[in-house]
Structure 1
Amino acid sequence: MEENKIIFKVTHEEEGLKLRAYLKKVQRLSSRLIKGAALSGRLEIDHKRVKLNHIVKAGESISLNLIKEESQNIEPEEMDIQVVYEDKDIIVVNKKPGVVVHPTRSYPNGTLANGLLYYFRERGENCIVRLVSRLDMDTSGLIIVGKNQFAHMCLARDMKSENFEKSYIAVIHGKMDAREGIIDLPIYRNEEAGIKRVVDERGQRSITHYKVIDDFKNDQLLNLTLETGRTHQIRVHLSYLGHPLYGDTLYGLGDDNQYIKRQALHAYRLKFPHPRGDKIMELESDIPQDIIELIRNIR
């Protein structure tokens, strides 16, 4: 089926390159994908298998078959999956708070990946779960998953492009000094502190853009967009500035249980280039009910 293939048309300007170089330099495919596709016979020109040292010619159609046999050591589990968008290459879901994204030693079952694998199997799709983005257990919101190796590679590659944006809403204690700004502070993990991160010069550069979108009596609702994607980045940055998230038991004030049972952070918007390169996707999800109730109570 043609929908399970990616077709590249060689132009006159690209003629003369070896197939490996063409796929890597022109089409920006990863070396791993190129090698795997060649070894499994999933690269063809005019329905014939070709080697990676083939010299490409103008007008040739290079076909990459996306179907491959693969498995994953994750147990499929029936789960209520809220699908925001889906096509043959990607699925975007709205994760509920309290759900771990991928199995770990502490959470071997009941994760989003378990539910997605069940979802794929029920629909007869031979997909494994290729997470492009992740969220903390108690952060809700949009997560992208690639349904094939090509889609995952493209999305992971493009995460640093200007067309890739991850935006959040957050309810914070207190009020920021300015209505909008950029938080540029390095984040470091001290292994002795477990999962907790700190702002420290030894850490990686971490950049968060913020804008105040609503004021309450003593607190604020922020829109935040990540320029970098460090673990706990928003939570660490806001806590360091003295404005921790409501409900954040790791970085917060520890006395918010009467308002909300988890950190008030929701990944509400995603913007990204579609893997097939024909459009920019822009997706949003509604503010969860527990954050709406929190705002009502502190307003």
Structure 2
Amino acid sequence: MESNGDMLDCLIVGGGPAGLTTGLYLARFKRRFLIVDSGTPRAAWIPTSHNIPMFADGISGKDLLGRARANLEQYGKCIRAGRVTGLSKQPDRFIAMVEDDEGGTSQISARRVVLATGAVDIEPDLPDVPNAVQRGLVRYCPICDGFESRDRKIAVIAYGAHGIGEAVFIARTYSDDVTLLTLGQPLELNADQWSKLDEHGIKVVETPVQSLDMENDRISALHSGGKEHRFDVLYSALGLKYRSDLALALGAEHDATGSLTVDSHCQTSVKGLYAAGDIVRGLDQIVVGMGHAAHAATHIHNHCELPTEDEPGGA
């Protein structure tokens, strides 16, 4: 719903669940908007999720995205393939530099912007297995599918204290057979942290992984320090790289990891700039991102013609 040369009501950066939901709301508010999508949503990696309401048999990330996109496109053409490479703020608008798939560039002006660019999981360094998370060999969300892994042998990959929280979460919720793998990195913990691992019976393997066994498109065993370790499920708890560079360049407030802090309307500290989905500090869940989208889109609709407090006459 991009107008010919006119300023948009809103530009949405990112075509994952949060971005598509923002678009759906704005379409139904009859707003002029455009989604610029690079085609790399984190949700596409989900093999099957069972904790999205109304999908009792589970749904894959790709199927969910396909349905959301088809739903939105009933309201008209509103998605452009491309990448926003720069974002600047003027008194009454944002200017986005967009690069298309052929390398061409263009500018888009919008009164408001929603960043739904998400995050990328840091991949574990496993021998001869690149992109293990993206290929579905290693999972990344026990909240999403831990129930299906209950009472099984589970390994959590983490290089330090970061993985303790996830290992404990799994041990206290789903399984009493949990192992923390550091892939050769030293596990530097204090006495309280070691005590927490002991309390939940979490085993630790710090030796490097020399080789892997594959079975039915999954990792079935890791050979480490001369021993074989067999698991039913592997989770990675190595953290995320947040795609928040556009917001950080504008001075938006964020935490130490780069995830953005927002108000109750999902507006960042840069007035007129909103964020939704995994890029926002907090729980990384699809339904949460959709909630962000609903808040942001409704606030944008209600305030779109009004100047922001950064503009002359703004509140």
Q: Which fold has the larger relative contact order, with Cα–Cα distance below 8 Å and residues 6 or more apart in sequence? A: 2
Alignment TM class, shorter chain as reference: under 0.3
State TM-score, norm by structure 2: 0.25
State TM-score, norm by structure 1: 0.26
